[in-house]
Structure 1
C-alpha cells in the first residue's frame, strides 16, 4: 500500500466523504442514521464543525480519500466544552489496513492541540469489534454500554462508550 497522508479536510473532499458515509448509513450499524444525508447536508455539517474550530481530517492514498475522521461537541451544555466526541469512517476496501488507527491518532493529536481534554467514542453496535479494537489501540478505555438504545435493520442495537484523556486530561484546570 502507498503511504497514507493525513491532512485537514476541505470542502472539495466532501464529494469523496459523502459516499463513504452513505455506505455506512445504508449497510452498517456504526451510525444510527437511517437515511444517508445529501452532499448539501454533509457540507452544512462540515461547515458547522470546521467553523466552530473542531478538527476534521481525511486520509489520502495515491490522491484519493480513503477515510475521514472528525471531532465534534460531546454535548451542547457549556460545561462539556473541553470534551469532544470522535467519528471515523472508512470505505470497506480501506478497512483493516491501519488507516482508521492512523486517522484516529491524528485526530487525538489535533484535538489535544486545540485544548480539548477528553474524547468520547460512541460506537454503534456492541458487535463492532473493529471499531472497539481501534479505539482500544488508541488508548481508549471502556466506560459502559447502553443496551438496546437504537433500532436499525429490524433489530435492537447497543452503543458502546469509550473514553480517552487528551493532554493533561483532568489533572489541571483548562
Structure 2
C-alpha cells in the first residue's frame, strides 16, 4: 500500500465508483472485451459474487474517492479449475503511473496467498492467471513485476472497435 492511498475491501456502496472506473475501459479501450457499459447495481452484484466465493475485491481510496480496484475470480467454471484464479486490476485515469496498480496487486497477491481454507472453495490458491488484451505494455510489466510468466498468446480471439485482438496469458503459482 502506498502512503497516498487507503486500501480496503469493496463495499456495496462502491458500485457507482467502480462502474465509473470500469466503464471508461469498456467505452475507450480493448482492455476489457465487454462492449456495454455497466450500471452501479451490476458492479455491486459482481462484488457480492466474488466476495461470496470467499475471494478478495479490493479498492483503493484517496481523498475519499475510489481510485482503483483489484480482485480475483474463478479462471474457469469447471471444478478442476477451483484452485486457479484470474486476477484483474483497473485504475482511475488520474491514478495511472502512481504506483497504485502495484500496490493493489501486492495486497491482492498477499490476500490470495493467505486465503483461509475454511472461507473459500478456492483455497488453497495454486495458480494465478493474468489475461491481457495485446498490446498492453503497462499491464504486461505489472504482471511480470509479480513473477507472472507469459505462457501463451491466442491470436485474434477478440473483436472490438472493428479490429481483431490477441490475448496473452500470464501465470504464477503460489505454492
TM-score by length of 1: 0.91
Aligned length: 166
Residues 16 and 39 in structure 2, CA contact (< 8 A), matched pair in contact too? no
Alignment of 1:116 with 2:116, yes or no, is: no
Maintained 8 Å contact 2:131/2:167: yes
Once superposed, which parts of structure 1, at least 4 consecutive aligned residues long, lie more than 6 Å away?
none
Measured after TM superposition, the shift of residue 62 of structure 1 is 2.1
**Mapped contact 1:7–1:58 kept (Cα < 8 A):** yes
Partner of 2:154: 146
Tell me whether 1:82 sits opposite 2:83 in the alignment.
yes
Q: In the TM superposition, what are the counterparts of 1:1-174 in structure 2 within 5 Å?
A: 3-114=4-115, 115-124=124-133, 126-166=134-174, 168=175
Query: 2:10 touches 2:57 (CA, 8 Å); kept in 1?
Result: yes
Q: Which residue of 2 aligns with 1:172?
A: none
1:171 corresponds to: none
Cα distance in 1 for residues equivalent to 2:172 and 2:6: 24
Indicate if the aligned counterparts of 2:15 and 2:41 stay in contact, CA closer than 8 A: no
How far apart, CA to CA, are the structure 1 residues paired with 2:151 and 2:35? 26
Q: CA RMSD for the aligned pairs?
A: 1.3
CA contact (8 A) 2:13 2:44 kept: no
- Structure 1, unmatched stretches of 5+, are 169-174
Q: What are structure 2's unaligned runs of at least 5 residues?
A: 116-123
CA–CA distance in 2 between the matches of 1:102 and 1:140? 16
